[in-house]
Amino acid sequence: MDKESSAGVLFDHGRDKRIGLPEAVFCLGKPWPILLDLLERFQDQPVLFTRLEEEIFEKAPLTLRQKYDFDSISRTAYAQTQSDQGLKASVAVVSAGSADAPVAREAGRTLGFLGYQYAMYEDSGVAGLWRLTDKLEEINKRQVIIVVAGLDAALASVLGGLTPCPVIAVPTSVGYGLARGGMSALSSMLLSCAPGVTVMNIDNGYGAACAAARILRVFGQKDNLGA
């Protein structure tokens, strides 16, 4: 039995060629021996680790941790990034509040890992509408917008009505009581009166970044066709 099978993981090495996106390692819930094996195996390769808690990462030997670019807020790590996609197109990651930072930064870090340009516009919640409108001109210079919000998630509808760009909305599990772990934000985004807003699963910043990357690949293909 080879090392990969003995670790209980059959890594999908061909995914990048099939769909243009490499497989990532979702760390939450994985037994530590398997996760340590994966960290050791990919210390010199471009593989993204998501939902990697700091206290878990700290269990790895220092020499191994030093191989990785680890971010405790987004809970992501990678030893190498994918090659720069060379596109002028970029993504705006707009979040409602600082409590949404883990999900928003997961989206940003994933985009950076995949080799795409992005800019973060944090703390842009519509309870203080000026926080969004002051940034709107700059946001609209991007080609895709990821909106990250919890509570009533009104930011997705408001921004969806102010931009012609594709909008990918990510509800977060932020909020009291009736927020219901992000279910209210999810429902609000799905019920948005702004047409054409795409909605991801709760807290899925990684998935939103992958959706944006698929769109940006189309921009790249059009650029190549026009060259």
Q: What's this model's pTM, rounded to 2 decimal places?
A: 0.88
Mean pLDDT lowest among 56-70, 131-145, 211-225: 211-225
pLDDT of residue 226: 46
Q: What angle do CA 196, 194, 171 make, to 5 degrees?
A: 80
Q: How confident is the model at residue 212 (pLDDT cuts 50, 70, 90)?
A: very high
Look at residue 118 in the predicted model and tell me its pLDDT: 94
pLDDT by residue (tens digit) across 59-97?
999 999 999 999 999 999 999 988 877 777 899 999 999
- What pLDDT is recorded for position 195? 93
Rounded to a whole number of angstroms, the distance between the first and last alpha carbons of the chain is 49
> And the tokens for 21?
């996106």
Tokens of 112: 């950076």
Which one, of 81, 67, 22, 29, lies nearest residue 51 by Cα? Answer: 29
Residue-wise pLDDT tens digits, 90-135: 999 999 999 999 999 999 999 999 999 999 999 988 888 988 989 9
Alpha-carbon gap, residue 40 to 131, rounded angstroms:
43
- What CA–CA distance (Å, rounded) separates 43 from 68? 7
pLDDT of amino acid 221: 55
In the predicted model, what is the mean pLDDT of residues 46-63?
95
- Residue 65 CA: distances (Å) to CA of 69, 137, 181: 8, 40, 32
Residue type, 137: E
Query: Which of the two residues, 205 and 23, has the higher pLDDT score?
Result: 205
Q: Does residue 180 carry a pLDDT above 70?
A: yes
pLDDT above 70 (res 4): no
Which pLDDT does position 141 carry in this prediction?
A: 92
pLDDT in tens, 143-168: 999 999 999 899 999 999 999 999 99
Numbered ranges of CATH 3.40.50.1970 in the chain = 90-221
Mean pLDDT of 193-220: 92
pLDDT the model gives residue 227: 43
Looking only at the bridges linking them, the beta strands covering 69-71 and 25-26 are unpaired
Q: What is the pLDDT of residue 1?
A: 33
**What's domain 90-221's architecture?**
3-Layer(aba) Sandwich (3.40)
At 223 the pLDDT is 55
